């Protein structure tokens, strides 16, 4: 099942609530929420108070992408404000296994993200314990960057490993995904699609419908 996860980093924060209602009613599965600390990544986005506010008005699954150093320090707080899935960066955790175990203990889904240059083998001893791998298809820190095309091979290699090991782990992709390249990303094996600019830039409803149409066509080709 392919899922669409619009990233609110590209939303108009002046009317954030309205835009979330629009993506929810038009057909999003997850709401992708990018938290940046100005240390792990150069920029700073937003944190708990914003998530707590939007949680009041949305039933979407909150897919919280923590681009922060040592996220283990804040897991309870992100759960308290409404996270359903918490994704941490392998590069930002001194004790990745402990961090993932804590997310699971809190009763949440656990994702691990890898920067473009981070090899897949850092997942070797954690893959069975997680629900999702987030393959960054840009260097994290900003919306609106161009997709790094060498990531197609990385997605493909991860899908192959998951198939061989019979693991039910989602592959999420994040960064530079558009209506023009999403088909190739699906073809490579991703099944959770994050998209910021390509949803919130322009007509939100027609953008979401465009992604949905491509998902449907892809799924019908599989059957």
Binding mask 197-216 for ligand DX5 (x = CB under 6 A): xx------------------
By a kind-dependent CB cut-off of 5 to 8 A, residue 9 interacts, out of Zn ion, ligand DX5, none, with ligand DX5
Single out the residue of 55, 65, 102, 154 in contact with ligand DX5 (rule: CB under 6 A). 65
Identify the burial level of 157 via C-beta atoms within 10 angstroms of its C-beta, where 0-12 means exposed, 13-18 middle and 19 or more buried: middle
Q: Which residue has the tokens 């057909």?
A: 27
With CB under 5 A as the contact rule, which of the stretches 19-27, 28-36, 123-131, 185-193 interacts with Zn ion? 28-36
Residues 135, 45: Cα–Cα separation, whole Å = 20
Question: Is residue 102 within 8 Å of residue 122, measured between CB atoms?
Answer: no
Single out the residue of 2, 9, 88, 132 in contact with ligand DX5 (rule: CB under 6 A). 9
| Closer of 171 and 221 to Zn ion (Cβ) | 171
Single out the residue of 88, 189, 196, 204 in contact with ligand DX5 (rule: CB under 6 A). 196
Minimum CB–partner distance for residue 65 and Zn ion (Å): 4
Element containing residue 103 per DSSP (H, E): helix 96-105
Identify the burial level of 1 via C-beta atoms within 10 angstroms of its C-beta, where 0-12 means exposed, 13-18 middle and 19 or more buried: exposed
User: Is-catalytic flag, 63?
Assistant: no
Per rule CB under 6 A, is residue 99 in the interface with ligand DX5? Answer: no
| Six token digits for residue 162 | 């998951």
Between the alpha carbon of residue 222 and those of residues 80, 148, 154, 186, 215, the distances in Å are: 39, 26, 21, 11, 11
Interacting residues with Zn ion (CB under 5 A) = 34, 65, 174
User: Catalytic residue numbers?
Assistant: 34, 174
Interacting residues with ligand DX5 (CB under 6 A) = 7, 9-10, 32, 34, 65, 138, 140-145, 174-177, 194-198
């Amino acid at each position: 099942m392919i899922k669409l996860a619009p990233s609110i980093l590209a939303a108009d924060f002046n009317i954030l609530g309205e835009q979330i209602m629009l993506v929810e009613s038009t057909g999003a599965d997850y709401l992708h929420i990018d938290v940046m600390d100005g240390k792990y990544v150069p920029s700073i986005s937003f944190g708990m108070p914003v998530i707590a506010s939007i949680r009041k008005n949305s039933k979407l699954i909150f897919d919280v992408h923590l681009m922060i150093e040592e996220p283990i320090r804040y897991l309870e707080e992100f759960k308290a404000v409404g996270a359903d899935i918490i994704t941490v960066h392998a590069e930002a955790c001194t004790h990745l296994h402990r961090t993932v175990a804590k997310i699971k203990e809190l009763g949440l889904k656990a994702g691990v993200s890898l920067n473009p240059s981070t090899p897949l083998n850092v997942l070797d001893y954690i893959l069975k314990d997680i629900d999702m791998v987030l393959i960054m298809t840009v260097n994290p820190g900003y919306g609106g960057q161009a997709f790094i095309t060498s990531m197609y091979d990385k997605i493909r290699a991860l899908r192959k490993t998951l198939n061989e090991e019979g693991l039910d782990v989602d592959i999420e992709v994040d960064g530079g995904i558009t209506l023009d390249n999403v088909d190739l990303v699906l073809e490579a094996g991703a099944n959770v699609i994050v998209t910021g600019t390509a949803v919130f830039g322009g007509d939100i409803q027609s953008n979401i419908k465009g992604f949905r149409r491509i998902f449907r066509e892809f799924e019908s080709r599989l059957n």
